[in-house]
Structure formats: C-alpha cells, structure tokens
C-alpha cells in the first residue's frame, strides 16, 4: 500500500489504540521505503475522515468546563484535555500526509514523523491519565483543531499557515503556563505530568518548525510574500485571535522570524 493511503487508513480508524498502532507501524515502515509522487486522491475518499471514538462527547470550547489542577479530578480533566489535543494532532498529521497531492517526498516524510510523535504523546498522556483513574473519553472535548483542518482542506498553503504555525504554535505558549500551575500543585502525579509536557514541548517546537518550513516553501513556489499572505489567510479562515503571553524563545526556535515575532507582540 502506498504510504499516503496507509495514512488515510490510519486516519479512518476510530479506536484510539488501533490508530496509534497503525500510525506508528506506518511511520516505521515508511522509513526505508520510497514515497512515490503519484496522486492518490479519489472522489469520495473523505468518507470516514476523521475516524474518532464515540467518546469523548464533543462540545463547544466554552462548554468544556474548568480544569483546575488543584483537585485530583481537575488534574485528570486537564490531562484529558491535552490527551484530546494529541489525539486530534495524530489526525491532523495523517491528514496532511494523505490529503495534498503534488508535494515533495520530504513533505510527506516530515508529516509522517509528526504523526508518529503525536502518537507517542497520546500514549504517554493516556497512560498517565489511567494512573489517575480515568481513560480517554471520560471527559468532554472540543473540536477547534479539526474545524480548522476542515476549513483548509482545499489549500495546503492555508493548512500550513493556520494549523501548525497558528493553532499548534499556541501550544508552545500554553505549555509553560500549564507546567507552572502543576508545579504549584507539587504532587507526584503533577510532577509526572510536567515531565511528559517537557517532552511534548520539545517535539512540538519541531512540528511548528516543519509547518513554518513548508509554509515558506509554498509561498516561494507561488511567488507570494509570507507575512502578507498569512494576514489574508488568518482573516479569511477566521483563525482564533492570538493572545499573550507568547513563548518567544520557543517560537524563535520553531522558525518564526524576528519580524513575525515583532508583529505578534505588537498585536
């Protein structure tokens, strides 16, 4: 099977453990195999995308509820919310591999690696969640990440602009704030969560960097200015407003330019 069709098959799986296993196996198998540049898209192949379990129940971001880390159930809800983000991130990366014909082989390899790392993140968080007495699906979740995936499904440039380098980059800002709250809790399970978040933050810098790389590659290919085009795409697809504080150090390591960081802090 072509690796991109393998990504579609994994994307359609509804069971989280099966999706993780298929994603990790696909990424491992693809390391030694060429990824041919044949088009794989077919009419109607969006059916079953993305595969998700019946739970968690999807609610609006406003209805998810508070997740205070200062109670055991609150910490579990917080870990679950991050687990949900990582599950969606597996789907986002698999979709980036499968959906867009005509990209260089390196693009597909990059996003297969991202999918593999997101699967690792989900596994670590889900195992930690189970030590707290819960499983993925026991709390509600919102659909913000995938809704932007839907908005950008016909435009790889918009996808790179608004998923990795906008929504996922918000994780670079949010993770240190979550870790600071968990340090105040100062329990063994809180410290275990902090350690997992350290690993996730390190990997997510690389994921955002991949989004930045391919966004700029596409802008160069199409002869458009990256900063000006980003502003157009941001407004066109109604991306959520970016709010301070920003993790400027992590964003710089992820490939944002001095001009982009200055624009960010200027509002």
pTM to 2 decimal places: 0.97
CB 149 within 8 A of CB 92: yes
Question: What is the structure's pLDDT at 142?
Answer: 86
Q: Rounded to the nearest 5°, which phi and psi values hold at 141?
A: -150, 160
**Which among 154, 115, 173, 169 is positioned nearest to 233, based on CA atoms?**
154
Q: What mean pLDDT do residues 155-176 have?
A: 97
pLDDT classification of 1: cutoffs 50, 70, 90:
confident
Name all domains of the chain by residue range, CATH numbers in brackets.
Answer: 3-31+60-266 (1.20.1260)
Q: What is the pLDDT of residues 27-38, one digit of tens each?
A: 999 998 889 989
pLDDT in the model for residue 65: 66
DSSP 213-225: HHHHHHHHHHT--
Q: Are 208 and 118 in contact (CB under 8 A)?
A: no
Classify residue 169 as exposed, middle or buried by CB count within 10 Å of its CB (0-12, 13-18, 19+): buried
> In this predicted structure, what is the pLDDT of residue 64?
64
Which pLDDT belongs to residue 155? Answer: 98
Q: pLDDT-derived band of residue 90, with 50, 70 and 90 as boundaries?
A: very high
Determine the pLDDT at residue 33.
85
Mean pLDDT computed over every residue of the chain: 95
Please list, in sequence order, all residues whose beta carbon lies within 8 angstroms of the beta carbon of residue 157, skipping any fewer than 6 positions away. 215, 218, 219, 222, 229, 233
Q: Could you tell me how many residues make up the chain? A: 267
User: Distance (Å, rounded) from C-alpha 100 to C-alpha 85?
Assistant: 22
């Amino acid at each position: 099977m072509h690796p991109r069709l393998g990504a579609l098959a994994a994307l359609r799986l509804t069971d989280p453990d099966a999706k993780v296993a298929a994603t990790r196996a696909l990424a491992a198998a693809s390391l030694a195999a060429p990824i041919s540049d044949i088009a794989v898209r077919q009419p109607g192949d969006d059916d079953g995308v993305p595969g998700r379990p019946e739970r968690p129940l999807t609610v609006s971001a406003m209805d998810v509820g508070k997740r205070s880390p200062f109670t055991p159930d609150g910490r579990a809800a917080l870990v679950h919310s991050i687990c949900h983000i990582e599950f969606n991130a597996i789907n986002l990366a698999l979709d980036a591999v499968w959906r867009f014909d005509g990209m260089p082989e390196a693009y597909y390899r990059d996003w297969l690696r991202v999918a593999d790392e997101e699967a690792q993140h989900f596994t670590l968080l889900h195992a930690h969640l189970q030590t707290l007495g819960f499983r993925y699906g026991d709390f509600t979740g919102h659909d913000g990440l995938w809704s932007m995936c839907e908005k950008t499904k016909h435009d790889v440039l918009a996808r790179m602009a608004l998923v990795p380098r906008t929504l996922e980059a918000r994780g670079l800002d949010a993770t240190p704030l979550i870790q600071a709250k968990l340090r105040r809790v100062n329990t063994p399970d809180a410290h275990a969560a902090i350690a997992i978040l350290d690993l996730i933050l390190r990997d997510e810098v690389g994921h955002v960097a991949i989004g930045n790389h391919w966004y700029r590659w596409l802008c160069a290919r199409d002869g458009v200015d990256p900063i000006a085009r980003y502003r157009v795409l941001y407004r066109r697809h109604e991306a959520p407003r970016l709010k301070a504080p920003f993790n400027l150090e992590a964003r710089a390591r992820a490939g944002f330019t001095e001009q982009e960081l200055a624009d960010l802090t200027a509002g």
